[in-house]
Amino acid sequence: MFSWAKTLCVAVLCAGAANAQETNEAPADATDVVLGPETNLPMPRYVSLKASEANVRRGPSLTHRIDWVFKRRDMPLQVVAEYGHWRRVIDRDGQGGWVHYTMLSGSRTVIIDENMMALRTRPDAGAPENAVLEAGVIAKLDECSLTWCWLEAGGYKGWAPKGVLWGVEADEVRE
């Protein structure tokens, strides 16, 4: 009986010390970038699906159950965790799981979230249209300003408003 009570006291004391340490530390600056423990790349970050099929597992190993299979090559995904050769990813619906890193590419793509979205010749809502894209289309992402991104989809290129794209952060600028 004594050993479990001692263990409980140690656990409570350790938790209290950890909380005290957390409150004594200076708050993190909003501009601090969290880096992944395996890749040393920013977290979270966007990638795309390299393969036409990739198993999405419940945990970061081949022994974990396959929950579903991604079947859309170039689909944008967001990496939210890393463990060894595994990346925890989420899709635009917030569904996620663990995927082996060889199934992912650093090439950036986005999904169009607005039906009949116009690709424009300039980053201006009044500019002429190059093409019109349906919701769900995957486009390659190139440069982005604060409000517009240059995309390529189905052989067409042009500017799209950033607010109707999934796969790029609202404040992300790409040159």
Answer yes or no: is 8 within a domain: no
Contact 51, 109 (CB under 8 A): no
Give the residue from 107, 125, 147 where a domain finishes. Answer: 107
Answer yes or no: is 173 within a domain: no
Q: Residue 1's Cα: distance from chain center in Å?
A: 48
The answer on 96 and 51 residing in a single domain is: yes
Q: Please give the tally of structural domains in the chain.
A: 2
- Angle, vertex CA 69, rays to CA 162 and CA 37, nearest 5: 65
pLDDT computed for residue 20 by the predictor: 37
Domain that holds residue 59: 34-107
- The closest alpha carbon to 112, from 155, 73, 145, 160, belongs to 160
By mean pLDDT, which of 19-23, 47-51, 166-170 is the weakest?
19-23
Alpha carbons 137 and 156: distance in angstroms, whole number: 12
The answer on 120 and 102 residing in a single domain is: no
Contacts of 120 (CB under 8 A, 6+ apart): 127, 128, 129, 130, 158, 159, 160
The answer on 93 and 137 residing in a single domain is: no
Answer yes or no: is 5 within a domain: no
By mean pLDDT, which of 17-31, 43-57, 92-106, 156-170 is the weakest?
17-31
Q: Backbone dihedral region of 116: left (phi > 0), alpha (psi from -120 to 50 degrees) or beta?
A: left
The answer on 76 and 52 residing in a single domain is: yes
The answer on 79 and 38 residing in a single domain is: yes
Domain harbouring 138, CATH code: 2.30.30.40
Bridge-based pairing of strands 96-100 and 117-120 is unpaired
Arithmetic mean of pLDDT over the chain: 86
Helices (H) and strands (E) in the chain, counts: 1, 16
Tens of pLDDT, residue by residue over 86-120, are 999 999 999 999 999 999 999 999 999 999 999 99
- Angle, vertex CA 76, rays to CA 73 and CA 77, nearest 5: 110
Answer yes or no: is 3 within a domain: no
The answer on 101 and 72 residing in a single domain is: yes
The answer on 88 and 148 residing in a single domain is: no
Alpha carbons 146 and 33: distance in angstroms, whole number: 19
The answer on 96 and 49 residing in a single domain is: yes
pLDDT tops 70 at residue 28:
no
Answer yes or no: is 126 within a domain: yes
Answer yes or no: is 12 within a domain: no
Answer yes or no: is 50 within a domain: yes
